[in-house]
Amino acid sequence: MMDVTTHIPELEDALYCREVMQLHAGKSELQNDRELLKKAHGLGIMATLPSVAEAKRVTSSASDSTESTSREQTFSTISEASTSHLTPHSSIYGGLGPNFSSVDSNINKPMCKALNFAPYEKYLSQINTVHEEPRFRKQTLMVESSGQSIFSFCRACGGVWDVATGCPNVCNGEEGLAKKRREEEEQATVEKAMREAEQQKCKERSALHPIMMALETSQKQEKQRFLDFRLSAEASMRTRHTAEEVALTKRLAEEKDQLSRKHSEETTQLDDRQISEELELRQSLEQAEKSIRVRIKHMEAYCDGLGQSPNGSALPPRVVTEQNLRDLGNQYNLRDDMERQNQSKINMMRDRQGKRMEGLLEKHAADLRTHAEGQGKAKDELVDRHKQEEIQFNSIFDERQCRTSAKWTLAIEVLCKELQEQDGLKYAEIDPPSWPAKVIPKEESPNDAI
> From residue 135, how far is each of 139, 189, 196, 376 by CA, in Å?
12, 16, 21, 69
- Average pLDDT across the chain, whole number: 75
pLDDT at 70 over 70: no
What tens digit of pLDDT does each residue of 392-434 get? 999 999 999 999 999 999 999 999 999 988 888 888 888 899 9
- Residue 199: per-residue pLDDT: 81
Taken in order 337, 339, 344, 345, the sign of the CA dihedral is positive
Q: What is the pLDDT of residue 180?
A: 76
What separation in angstroms does the CA of 311 have from each of 304, 305, 315, 316, 320?
A: 14, 11, 8, 10, 16
pLDDT attached to residue 356 = 92
Which pLDDT band holds residue 99 (cuts at 50, 70, 90)?
very low
Task: Answer whether 309's CB lies under 8 Å from 318's CB.
Answer: yes
Under 8 Å between Cβ of 367 and 267: no
For residue 128, the SS3 value is helix
Is 92 within a domain? no
202-256 pLDDT per residue, tens = 888 888 889 989 999 999 999 999 999 999 999 999 999 999 999 999 999 999 9
Is 114 a member of any domain?
Answer: no
Report yes or no on 342 lying in a domain: yes
Is residue 4 in some structural domain? no
DSSP string, 55-78: HHHHHH-HHHHHHHHHHHHHHHHH
User: pLDDT at position 90, please?
Assistant: 35
Phi, psi at residue 153, to the nearest 5°? -120, 150
Range of 289's domain? Answer: 257-392
Predicted confidence at residue 83, as pLDDT, reads 42
Do 155 and 139 meet the contact criterion of CB atoms below 8 Å apart?
yes
Q: Give how far the C-alpha of residue 310 lies from the chain's centroid of Cα atoms, to the nearest Å.
A: 107
Residue 299 lies inside a defined structural domain of this protein: yes
Give the rounded percent of residues in the chain with a pLDDT score beyond 90: 30
Closest to 42 (Cα-Cα) out of 109, 116, 133, 122: 109
Is 324 within a domain? yes
Q: Dump pLDDT digits (tens) for 170-209.
A: 666 566 667 778 888 888 888 888 888 888 888 888 888 8
Asked if residue 156 lies in contact with residue 173, where contact means CB atoms within 8 angstroms, the answer is yes
Q: What is the DSSP letter of 162?
A: B
Tell me the three state secondary structure of residue 27. Answer: coil
Q: Is 93 helix (H, G, I), strand (E, B) or coil?
A: strand
Please state the domain count of the chain. Answer: 1
What single-letter amino acid sits at 431?
Answer: D
* Cβ–Cβ < 8 Å for 86, 126: yes
End-to-end CA distance of the chain: 40
Interval 42-61: pLDDT, tens: 888 887 787 544 534 555 55
Tens of pLDDT, residue by residue over 103-120, are 343 434 444 444 556 666
What pLDDT is attached to residue 328?
81
Half-sphere exposure of 101 (CA within 13 A, CB side): 3
At residue 398, the pLDDT reads: 93
Do residues 76 and 13 touch, judged by C-beta distance below 8 A?
A: no
In a domain, 437, yes or no: no
255, 371 contact by CB (below 8 A): yes
Q: Which region among 129-138, 360-369, 434-443 has the lowest average model confidence (pLDDT)?
A: 129-138
Task: Report how far residue 259's alpha carbon sits from residue 449's, in angstroms, rounded to the nearest whole number.
Answer: 42
Q: Which residue has the higher pLDDT, 127 or 3?
A: 127
Residues 299-334 pLDDT 10s: 877 777 654 555 555 566 667 778 878 888 888 888
Assessment of whether the complete model's pTM goes beyond 0.75: no
Q: Are 286 and 346 in contact (CB under 8 A)?
A: no
Tens digit of each residue's pLDDT (9 = 90 or more) over 240-297: 999 999 999 999 999 999 999 999 999 999 999 999 988 988 888 888 888 888 888 8
Residue 325 lies in a domain: yes
